[in-house]
Amino acid sequence: MATWIRKSAHTRELEMVKRPENLQIVVRQPDIDLRPLMRRQRYWLGGDPVLTHFINALQATFPEGERFFIDSARDVSATLPPERMTPALQQDLNAFIQQEARHGRAHDAWCDALVDIGYTRMPEYDAQMKKLRLWSRKHIGALTRLALTAAAEHMTASIALLLLERRSDLLENAERPVRDLLAWHALEECEHKAVCFDLYQAAGGGYLRRSIALLFELFDIYVHVQTRLRYLLKTDGLWTWKMRWRVFRDIWGPRGVMGSMYGLLWRYLRPGFHPWDSDERAAFTARYGDLIPR
Ligand SMILES: [Fe+2]
Ligand SMILES: [Fe+2]
C-alpha cells in the first residue's frame, strides 16, 4: 500500500511515495575476485576492447561516486526533522548505505585488478575524484549534493533496465565472475533506486534542482568515463582514429550503449516522475537470479 508523507515545508503539499509493499533492500555479501579473469582475458566482454574498457571505465567512477552518495544522504538525513523521516525511509536509508558501501569496496577491488594487469594510472583518477568529493562536501549544500545523488541513482537504475531489456548482451557476453558482479550490483540498484529520491523530497527538494542535477550528472559521467576510457585504450596502443570513431558509434552516439539509455534517462525530467513508476526487480531476478549471491 502506498504511504503519504509531507513533501515540502514551502508548499505543504502531500506527496505519495510509491514504495512497493514487498520491497526488501537486501545487503548481500559477494566474495568476487576478478584478478584471475583479468589476467587470463583482458577483453572479457566478447573480446571487444571498446565495450570491455567502457565498462571498466564506468565502474572505476563508482567507488568515489558511491561514497559521495552516502555522504550526501547522511548529511541531509542528519538535518531532517524526525516527523519527515518515516520508519520505512530510515530503514531503507540504512540498507542503502550498507549496499553502497559494499559496492564501493567491490569496485575498489575491480580497480586493483586493472592495476594488476598494467593500468597503473587508475588510482590517480580515483584520487582526483576523492579530492572533488571532499571539496564538494565543504562547498556545495547537502540538498544539492543529494539532488545529484538522486539523479545518479536514476542513472544506475537505468543501467539495470538497459541490461535487462535493450542491451542484455553486455551482461550475457561478459565472462564470469564479472557477469555475477554486474548482475548483483544492478539488482541492488533496482532495490534502492528510490531511497535518495524520497529523502530528497522529504527534505523539500524541488523539480528544477533535480532536473538540472540529471543534466549535470550526464556531463559529469561523460567527462570521467571518457577520460578513463581513453587512458585504457591508449595504454593498449588502441587509441587510433578508427577506435575513436568506434567509441562514438558504440558508446556515446544514438545507437551506442549510452545512446540506448538516453530515452530511459529523460523519464526523470517528467514533473510527476517517481522511481517506482516501474519495478524491474521481479523481471531481473527471473532472468539473472542464478548469478546473484545470497
Ligand atoms: Fe551502487
Ligand atoms: Fe545506488
Q: Which backbone phi and psi does 167 adopt, to 5 degrees? A: -130, 55
The grid coordinates of residue 206 equal 524541488
Region 86-105 average pLDDT: 92
Residue 226 pLDDT > 90, yes or no?
yes
Enumerate residues 6+ apart whose C-beta is below 8 A from 81.
Answer: none
Region 266-276 average pLDDT: 94
Residue 100 Cα to ligand 2 midpoint, Å, equals 6
Residue 115 Cα to ligand 2 midpoint, Å, equals 25
Supply the pLDDT for residue 88. 86
Model confidence pLDDT, tens digit, residues 150-162: 999 999 999 999 9
Model confidence pLDDT, tens digit, residues 18-58: 888 888 898 998 888 999 999 999 999 999 999 999 999 99
Q: Domains in the chain and their CATH numbers?
A: 29-291 (1.10.620)
Long-range contacts of 14-23 (CB under 8 A, 24+ apart): 15/201, 16/274, 17/89, 17/194, 17/198, 17/201, 17/274, 18/194, 18/274, 18/276, 18/277, 19/88, 19/92, 19/194, 19/198, 19/276, 20/276, 20/279, 23/92, 23/191
Supply the pLDDT for residue 204. 93
The grid coordinates of residue 236 equal 593498449
Model confidence pLDDT, tens digit, residues 162-186: 998 889 999 999 999 999 999 999 9
Supply the pLDDT for residue 8. 41
Buried (b) or exposed (e) across 37-62, using 16+ Cβ within 10 A? Answer: bbeeebebbeeebbbbbbbbbbbbbb
In whole angstroms, what separates CA 23 from the centre of its chain?
A: 19
Residue 102 Cα to ligand 1 midpoint, Å, equals 8
Residue with cell 542513472: 155
Supply the pLDDT for residue 17. 61
Residue with cell 530503514: 91
Residue 9 Cα to ligand 2 midpoint, Å, equals 27
Model confidence pLDDT, tens digit, residues 129-139: 999 999 999 99
Supply the pLDDT for residue 203. 94
Residue 243 Cα to ligand 1 midpoint, Å, equals 29
Residue 11 pLDDT > 70, yes or no?
no
Cis peptide before 123 (omega within 30 of 0): no
Task: Identify residues whose C-beta is under 5 A from ligand 1, the ion.
Answer: 103
Model confidence pLDDT, tens digit, residues 180-209: 999 999 999 999 999 999 999 999 999 999
Q: Are the C-beta atoms of residues 145 and 203 closer than 8 Å to each other?
A: no
